[in-house]
């Protein structure tokens, strides 16, 4: 079961002026399942995104990049149950058919539509099921349907993922609301996940792409479940500009900082929810590395620990076989690392220092921490001031079972 994670109360997900969401059932993988989501954006909305770096990126990812470059996005269409990845030119043709159909419903150009897919790779996108469901999704459009959309984009997720914040900018209330899906095949770059965050803040077009990248770097690019980077990862930031405050044009301004803090908070909550809902997860772990020369090497070491199957299975067993953490630090690829200066804590328990087991460490103290549902591993490198934290989960028997039976 997910680790200390419950589906968000629909009332907690504030509507974002300028955004409406509609849900429908196409029966792509399971009859009757609500698996199609349409998101309508008000004219003038600004949209930016970051995507998977997997070279086998899905057809919808390719089209999203093309359509974002053209600008003026008016609608998003999301299907679950089929990834439309590893489908070649036919996959692109089917994704374009979907954009054409959505454009016809909204009276815009196909280039004004962003398509997203998640599900099984190497299978043709069933447009014969998707296209007939689109009018029903359009008829269902409501500003308050964030929770319904969070459920509709799930695949192996157990819990829907949504988060929301409100802040004041220029005397106006500004809303930030987001949803995401993902519990397996999660690992940057872009960490299978889809994330959609919208705000009614007014943001200058030139700031949108740097802003979405900066938000991703402290959230979705800091989570791993199994070390597999999906073919379909996409994180989209939408700013409708309907809050009524002066447009944010300066990344050094107080308004920009306040908005980014709210966006970060929503995105971090969604990213952590993915690790808490990792396939078969029983433990949620934070791997915090400090004292590095730069943030990149801190993340490199944190990821080496977080994605180690031996570390993750030890946590599932609540077994303080903590030499596995030291081994992962050692093979992370930092060639000039002085292991004699490193300290490692499990929770508040000092485990290792001076190149070996801490004199104060006891197996009983380590075992007590390992039984907790949420655990922090802290690693001090003593070679600088940089730091980074990565979130992950354990590997249980259910992870194997879920992925072995994914298509059945």
User: Is 65 buried (19+), middle (13-18) or exposed (0-12) by CB count in 10 A?
Assistant: middle
User: Is 263 buried (19+), middle (13-18) or exposed (0-12) by CB count in 10 A?
Assistant: buried
Closest C-alpha to 25, from 41, 36, 40, 14: 36
87 assigned to active site: no
Closest C-alpha to 226, from 167, 311, 296: 311
Active-site residue (options: 156, 192, 224, 282):
192
**Beta sheet of 75-82, edge-to-edge order:** 19-25, 34-41, 75-82, 113-120
Q: How far apart are CA 126 and CA 119, in angstroms?
A: 12
How many Cα atoms occupy the beta-carbon half-sphere of 115 within 13 Å? 33
Instruction: Report yes or no: 221 and 272 within 8 Å, Cβ to Cβ.
Output: no
Which residue reads 């999704």 in tokens? Answer: 137
Q: How many CB atoms lie within 10 A of CB 111?
A: 18
Which residue reads 């057809």 in tokens? Answer: 59
Q: Does the bond joining 189 to the residue before it have cis omega, within 30 degrees of 0?
A: yes
SS3 content of the chain, % helix, strand, coil (to 5): 35, 25, 40
Buried b vs exposed e over 126-162: b needs ≥16 C-beta within 10 Å?
Answer: bbebbbebbebbbebbeeebbbbbbbbbbbbbbbbbb
- Give catalytic residue positions: 192
């Amino acid at each position: 079961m997910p680790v200390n994670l419950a589906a968000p109360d629909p009332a907690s997900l504030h509507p974002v002026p300028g955004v409406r969401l509609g849900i429908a059932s196409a029966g792509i993988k399971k009859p009757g399942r609500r698996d199609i989501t349409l998101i309508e954006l008000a004219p003038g909305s600004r949209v930016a995104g970051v995507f998977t770096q997997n070279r086998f990126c899905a057809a919808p990812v390719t089209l999203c990049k093309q359509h974002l470059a053209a600008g003026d996005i008016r609608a998003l269409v999301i299907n679950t149950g089929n990834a439309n990845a590893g489908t070649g030119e036919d996959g692109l043709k089917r994704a374009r058919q979907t954009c054409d159909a959505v454009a016809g419903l909204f009276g815009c150009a196909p280039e004004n539509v962003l398509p997203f897919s998640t599900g099984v790779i190497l299978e043709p996108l069933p447009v014969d099921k998707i296209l007939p469901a689109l009018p029903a999704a359009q008829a269902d459009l409501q500003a308050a349907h964030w929770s319904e959309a969070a459920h509709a984009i799930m695949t192996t997720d157990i819990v829907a993922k949504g988060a929301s914040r409100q802040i004041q900018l220029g005397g106006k209330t500004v809303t930030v609301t987001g949803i995401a899906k993902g519990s397996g095949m999660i690992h940057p770059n872009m960490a299978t996940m889809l994330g959609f965050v919208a705000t009614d803040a007014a943001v200058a077009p030139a700031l949108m792409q740097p802003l979405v990248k900066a938000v991703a770097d402290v959230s979705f690019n800091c989570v791993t479940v199994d070390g597999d980077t999906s073919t379909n990862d996409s994180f989209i930031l939408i700013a409708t500009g309907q809050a009524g405050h002066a447009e944010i044009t300066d990344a050094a301004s107080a308004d920009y900082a306040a908005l980014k803090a709210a966006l970060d908070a929503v995105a971090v909550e969604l990213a952590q929810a993915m690790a808490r809902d990792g396939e078969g997860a029983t433990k949620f772990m934070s791997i915090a590395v400090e004292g590095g020369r730069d943030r990149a090497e801190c993340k490199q070491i944190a990821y080496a620990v977080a994605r180690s199957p031996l570390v993750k299975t030890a946590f599932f067993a609540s077994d303080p076989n903590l030499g596995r953490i030291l081994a992962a630090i050692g093979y992370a690829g930092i060639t000039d690392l002085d292991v004699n200066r490193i300290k490692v804590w499990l929770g508040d328990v000092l485990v290792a220092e001076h190149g070996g087991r801490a004199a104060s460490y006891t197996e009983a103290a380590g075992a007590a921490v390992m039984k907790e549902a949420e655990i922090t591993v802290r690693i001090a490198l003593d070679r600088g001031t940089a730091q980074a934290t990565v979130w992950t989960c354990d590997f249980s028997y259910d992870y194997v079972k879920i992925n072995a039976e994914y298509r059945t």
